[in-house]
Structure 1
């Protein structure tokens, strides 16, 4: 009886191994195919994956692009600066200095053999809102520069004001999504640095191009001026299920900033 069981078990093992091998090969083939579609120039082949399934699979763990290679290498730096209004001990308010959040986060990756992917979070936020802001018509750009932080309806008031002007290309909704993300990020940065007494935040995303390639050997060449995104003061934004404590622990671990609990 024991011999029969042993023979049966031994016979099943190759079947199990072959099944696992086939499954592993299928997963590998699917991953390689998805990576090919993601890396290759955008085409209708991406419709093989329904909806946003391809981007949701590739981002954030597997995202790749050709942006670091010629003929269009990365040719500029993005900055994200944050400041806040904080409540003082005597009940007043005080405006903080600007802090460049992107420099703080890049401090997590500089000279690190295994840098965290989160070190590029601020750069991603700055790039996103810079692109969305550039698409806005001039009338809406002027509105964005104003302050919207009073009351629980500040976002609604900003939205209604932006929609009062023509938006032929439908850019307002995309900008508002980008601003919501940027404000939420700025809120976490501000609370990490200045604590829970933060009342409102202001941020400035910007891009600065590198010296043009044709001037690379010019000793007097200077980088072009910074291209800022002027945004007024905004009310705090806190997303559900986020942890300010965990973000502060990560953000303040950089040697590029002194946070509230260190001052």
Structure 2
């Protein structure tokens, strides 16, 4: 074989390999497109289960990697309060839980530019869950205690966490998040139930979406962690007045 014939044979082989790879990529892309497409004549025409057998188990491609914009984790913040009765006595009346995150979702439905205040509750729940779930059983039990007898409940909470064996860094992170939620809950509670509010309690919930085909994230119940009662933090009048408008504009959001 001459040198020219060898070069021609090598070029032909390279072209064949490139064409074969292009065909494989094209067929693979078409099958993935069929896998993602809704049910219809085109998908049904490939034969029952053919596309599913190709994608799974051979490639084990997670639908989350093909649909990165889908919601995988949902978190919520619930708040309730203890309010002094209208007669001015010492008895405190517990309010129902209010799902603040749900009221925010309802308020911004179809709103392309939602106000940032509607993002606060979910963000607080996310931050609390991140630090709370890092605690061990003793640490979580300490976080669920009541701290209602002093103005600086954060210092007592930090001490309780440290006694429970939580590291200084972990205790500090959780206490910082707890303080932020208590301030938010105090503003919300006074705006909703009036100046008779004495104590607030919050609950952070979390749920994870099921695998594709097993339902949507709305079918999954929240796993809620209720924390102890905290003494109300009295905010400045100007801050409370601004917050009143936010709460007034929200739906009721009450849950059992």
Q: TM-score range by the shorter chain?
A: 0.5 to 0.7
Identify the residue that residue 243 of structure 1 maps to in structure 2.
Answer: 239
The alpha-carbon deviation at position 72 of structure 1 amounts to 7.8
Identify the residue that residue 170 of structure 2 maps to in structure 1.
Answer: 171
Identify the residue that residue 35 of structure 2 maps to in structure 1.
Answer: none
Alpha-carbon distance between aligned partners in 1 of 2:150 and 2:167, rounded to the nearest angstrom:
30
Alpha-carbon distance between aligned partners in 2 of 1:175 and 1:88, rounded to the nearest angstrom:
32
CA deviations 1:60-116 (Å, max 9, x no partner) are xxxxxxx99855843122111111000112213211111111112223311224321
Q: Could you say which structure has the larger radius of gyration?
A: 2
What TM-score, normalized to structure 2? 0.65
Alpha-carbon distance between aligned partners in 1 of 2:68 and 2:253, rounded to the nearest angstrom:
36
Please, which runs of 5 or more residues in structure 2 have no aligned partner?
1-63
Q: 1:86 aligns with which of 83, 87, 90?
A: 83
Please, which runs of 5 or more residues in structure 1 have no aligned partner?
1-66, 259-263
Q: 1:253 aligns with which of 245, 249, 256?
A: 249
Alpha-carbon distance between aligned partners in 1 of 2:116 and 2:66, rounded to the nearest angstrom:
20
Alpha-carbon distance between aligned partners in 1 of 2:133 and 2:149, rounded to the nearest angstrom:
26
Name segments (4+ residues, structure 1) moved above 4 Å. 67-73, 238-242
1:98 aligns with 2:97: yes
- Say which SS state the counterpart of residue 199 (structure 1) adopts: strand
The alpha-carbon deviation at position 186 of structure 1 amounts to 0.9
Instruction: Report the number of matched residues.
Output: 189
State which drifts further: 223-232 or 102-111.
Answer: 223-232
**Contact preservation (8 Å) 2:83, 2:199:** yes
**Contact preservation (8 Å) 1:192, 1:244:** yes
What TM-score, normalized to structure 1? 0.64
More contact order relative to length (CA 8 Å, sep ≥ 6): 2
